């Protein structure tokens, strides 16, 4: 029963974290009259977060010695919800926010005579 509560908590947290941010942005853009499309990068990130959370819960939950009374099952659900929320937020930062940063900095190969040198240049149009 602990395992079911842990999986439920992780799934609900990942789902809520993914679509709560989308609905918040949707309401803000609708108020300004713009259209917003769902970015599927967040769906991929949430799938990885759910897979990682599920795999780690399969390892951690059987080891813990939590009794299976209703209060402890509620504690397991709450803890796994917070764990799934944190994992999804971390995966969003890693896969989406940091990749946006590294797209601004690109590696450009510049030939100087017969030697090729690698320099980091910002991706700007100036």
Domain count, the chain: 1
Instruction: Supply the range of the domain harboring residue 60.
Output: 2-122
Under 8 Å between Cβ of 57 and 6: yes
Under 8 Å between Cβ of 81 and 12: yes
Q: Indicate if the alpha-carbon torsion angle 36, 38, 39, 45 is positive or negative.
A: positive
Higher pLDDT, 1 or 80: 80
What confidence tier does 101 reach under pLDDT thresholds 50, 70, 90? low
Q: How far apart are CA 44 and CA 42, in angstroms?
A: 5
Closest of 51, 66, 50, 49 to residue 2, by C-alpha: 66
| Tens digits of residue pLDDT in 29-85 | 887 877 777 778 888 888 999 999 999 888 888 787 777 888 888 888 899 999 999
- The DSSP H or E segment spanning 123 is none
């Amino acid at each position: 029963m602990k395992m079911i509560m842990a999986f439920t908590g992780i799934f609900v947290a990942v789902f809520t974290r993914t679509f709560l941010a989308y609905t918040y942005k949707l309401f803000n853009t609708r108020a300004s009259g713009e259209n917003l499309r769902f970015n599927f990068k967040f769906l991929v990130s949430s799938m990885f977060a759910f897979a990682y959370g599920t795999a780690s819960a399969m390892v951690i939950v059987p080891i813990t010695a939590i009794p299976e009374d209703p209060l402890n099952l509620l504690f397991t659900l709450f803890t796994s919800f917070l764990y799934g929320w944190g994992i999804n937020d971390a995966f969003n930062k890693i896969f989406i926010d940091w990749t946006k940063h590294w797209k601004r900095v690109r590696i450009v190969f510049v030939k100087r005579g017969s030697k090729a040198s690698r320099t980091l240049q910002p991706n700007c149009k100036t």
